[in-house]
Amino acid sequence: MVMTATGDLLMPLMGTPCAVGLARTLVDARIRNWNYSHILDNALLVVSELVTNAARQTPHEEIRLQLSRDAHGIVIAVWDADYALPQSKPVKALTLEDLDLSEEAFDDNGGWGLHIVQALSSKCGVTGDPAGGKWIWSRIRP
């Protein structure tokens, strides 16, 4: 983990399910240190979604989490080595009848994470990395 002079974090993680908990713990501590507790829940949900997507996209490979702040708020960015852009499900009104809650299909009800990130962000996007892969990022205003 690298912490810059401004307190920003750059952290390599392994693309596994435990990366999400580690990322949330470190982001929680940094955001509290910055006195941005009022946006903590939103930031942790965004971190969870972005790290989960990166870990699924490149399982058991390195991913990176960057947390920074500037005059406009915080930026949460997650890098993975895959060039494929994230695909979100079409937006529609969702009811319980639309979900297959059977044990066999429980994990098939996902795919809404990018919509959650968009809803919680003042801005978000994808930026290709010239060295390879992509950064998916979210800006949250305090």
Over 56-103, what HEC string results? Answer: HHCCCCEEEEEEEEECCEEEEEEEECCCCCCCCCCCCCCCHHHCCCCH
Residues paired with 125 in a beta bridge: 137
For residue 3, the cross-strand partners are: 9
Q: What's the whole-model pTM score?
A: 0.86
Contacts of 118 (CB under 8 A, 6+ apart): 124
Structure confidence at residue 132 (pLDDT) = 95
Q: Which tens digits make up the pLDDT trace of 104-128?
A: 765 555 677 888 999 999 999 999 9
